[in-house]
C-alpha cells in the first residue's frame, strides 16, 4: 500500500476516491524547498493501472498524488474540495467517461490540466479528448518519459 494514500487501495469499481492527509487547500502550486510540487489526481477504473502509476509517480519529489478516483463521476466533487494541477484521465470508464468528465473539468476548473490516457489508439480519440479540453493525450502503452514530459509541460 502506498503510504501517501488513506486506507487501502480500492478493489472495487464503486469505491470512493482517496485523498492524501497532507493536502493543502491552497489553489497555488505547493513549493518544497526550491521545487514546485505538481499536485496530481489519478482517474482510472483499473485498480492495477491506477495504483501502479501512482506508486511510480510518488517516487518523484516534484509530483504529489493527492487523490485517486475510480470513475469520472467522482472528479468534480473531489476538485471542489482539493486543489489539483494535473489530472491523468482514463478515457473509457463506466458511469461517466473521460471525455465528458474532461469537458466538465475544463468548464468548471479551467486552470487544471487534463492529460487523457487510453488503451485504444486512434486520432479520433485524441481529437475528442482535446476538443473536450485535454491538454494532451497519450496511449497507456506510451513510454514513461513521454508521460513525465506531458505532466511537466
pLDDT in tens, 74-117: 999 999 999 999 999 999 999 999 999 999 999 999 999 999 99
Q: Quick check: is 140 in a domain?
A: yes
Q: Quick check: is 137 in a domain?
A: yes
Q: Quick check: is 20 in a domain?
A: no
Environment class of 61 (CB within 10 Å of its CB; exposed 0-12, middle 13-18, buried 19+): exposed
Q: Quick check: is 77 in a domain?
A: yes
Q: Quick check: is 1 in a domain?
A: no
Cα–Cα distances (Å) from 40 to 51, 116, 120, in that order, read: 13, 13, 23
Q: Quick check: is 3 in a domain?
A: no
Q: How many CB atoms lie within 10 A of CB 145?
A: 8
Q: Quick check: is 9 in a domain?
A: no
Structural domain range at position 119: 27-152
Q: Quick check: is 12 in a domain?
A: no
Helical packing angle, 123-132 and 98-108, nearest 10° = 30
Distance, in Å, from the CA atom of 153 to the CA atom of 146, rounded to the nearest integer, reads: 10
Our count of domains for the chain comes to: 1
User: Residue 121's domain is classified under what CATH number?
Assistant: 3.40.50.2300
User: How much of the chain, in percent, has pLDDT values that exceed 90?
Assistant: 71
Amino acid at each position: 500500500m502506498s503510504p501517501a494514500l488513506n486506507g487501502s487501495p480500492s478493489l472495487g469499481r464503486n469505491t470512493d476516491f482517496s485523498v492524501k492527509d497532507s493536502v493543502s487547500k491552497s489553489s497555488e502550486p505547493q513549493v518544497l524547498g526550491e521545487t514546485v510540487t505538481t499536485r496530481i489526481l489519478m482517474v482510472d477504473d483499473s485498480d492495477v493501472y491506477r495504483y501502479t502509476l501512482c506508486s511510480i509517480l510518488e517516487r518523484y519529489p516534484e509530483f504529489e498524488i493527492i487523490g485517486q478516483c475510480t470513475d469520472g463521476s467522482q472528479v468534480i466533487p473531489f476538485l471542489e474540495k482539493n486543489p489539483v494541477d494535473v489530472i491523468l484521465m482514463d478515457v473509457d470508464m463506466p458511469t461517466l467517461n473521460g471525455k465528458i468528465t474532461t469537458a466538465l473539468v475544463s468548464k468548471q476548473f479551467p486552470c487544471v490540466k487534463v492529460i487523457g490516457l487510453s488503451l485504444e489508439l486512434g486520432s479520433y480519440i485524441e481529437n475528442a479528448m482535446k476538443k473536450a479540453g485535454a491538454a494532451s493525450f497519450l496511449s497507456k502503452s506510451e513510454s514513461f518519459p513521454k508521460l513525465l514530459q506531458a505532466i511537466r509541460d
